Amino acid sequence: MNNPEPRTKAAAPNALTVDLEDWYHGCCSAAAPPVPAEQRRVRRNTESILSLLADCRVQATFFVLGSVAEQDPFLVPMIAAAGHEISSHGYSHTLAPLLGPEKFREELRLTAAIIAAQSGSPPAGFRAPQWSLGSATPWAMEILQQEGCLYDSSYNPLPFVGNRRGPCAPFAIGTRGGSILEIPPMVTPSPIGNLPTGGGWGFRCFPLSLIRRSMQALNDAGAPAVLYLHPREMEAFGPRLPLSPLQSFLSYGPRSDAAGRLRELLSRFSFQTMKELALWASA
């Protein structure tokens, strides 16, 4: 009988999160224009992610963009049937400060209704497009609490895209109606500031050994490591938006290695869904 590969026992649950959007939703401040069905890539790339997750026996959390779920009503049922958590990424992928409180609530409700109709239950969590909650959206947490969110994962402790001095472990944000658990993605502290090792270009560019050590250090300290991925990162030569050189590097960089890196980490560490992580952190 073959012995299974030894797994590193994590001190805290980790989570793999997928921002379920298409290739044309990257680096934009407003809603993306409609793209013909034959140019969409999200279904095939999601199937690749689901196959990887099944191989590694990991349950992940998908932050679903409502407009994408609406365009392809087979996506959410396919993901939910595989046992993964369906959470919300808003509807149009417009940055939260541009939406304002009324539209923000409207998008939350619309996406929650689509997810509930397609998966059988409303989302328990939320992630804003491009980590766009912060000092410019003081109204957001109260709205999320009122709309029934158990947790949020929109605050990234990074310079430029988030709050560089923000907490790196889950923390509660109080509102008048109660608190919401904020679950930030993994970063790696360094002398020049926090490095984005939990996803995006940092996940694809930094040495895998650094990402492994960062996860282990968090787990050893009793904290979870939260990784994030976009379906477009599963194909090295997929379509690209016409972006500035810097934006292009941040969005595409060395994209081909994301799946191989994930497979290694999914096999080595323990993972649960974000909802399970939120319940663990709140216990």
Picking from 266, 274, 95, 112, the residue whose alpha carbon sits closest to that of residue 183 is 274
Write down the least CB distance from residue 234 to Zn ion, Å. Answer: 15
C-beta closer to Zn ion: residue 204 or 212: 204
Site residues for Zn ion per CB under 5 A? 19, 21, 129
Beta bridge partners of 152: 126, 182
Write down the least CB distance from residue 193 to Zn ion, Å. Answer: 23
C-beta closer to Zn ion: residue 129 or 196: 129
C-beta closer to Zn ion: residue 197 or 251: 251
Name residues whose C-beta falls within 8 Å of residue 17's C-beta, 6 or more positions apart in sequence.
Answer: 60, 61, 62, 63, 87, 127, 153, 185, 199, 226, 227, 228, 229, 274
C-beta closer to Zn ion: residue 29 or 282: 29
Beta bridge partners of 14: 271
C-beta closer to Zn ion: residue 24 or 269: 24
C-beta closer to Zn ion: residue 56 or 161: 161
Q: Which helix (H) or strand (E) holds 85?
A: strand 85-88
Picking from 100, 95, 114, 108, the residue whose alpha carbon sits closest to that of residue 32 is 95
**Cα-to-chain-centroid distance, residue 65:** 11
Whether the CB-CB separation of 277 and 31 falls below 8 Å is answered with no
Please give the angle made by the CA atoms of 259, 262 and 44, to the nearest 5 degrees: 40
Write down the least CB distance from residue 156 to Zn ion, Å. Answer: 12
Number of residues that make up the chain: 283
Write down the least CB distance from residue 26 to Zn ion, Å. Answer: 7
Write down the least CB distance from residue 199 to Zn ion, Å. Answer: 11
Write down the least CB distance from residue 19 to Zn ion, Å. Answer: 4
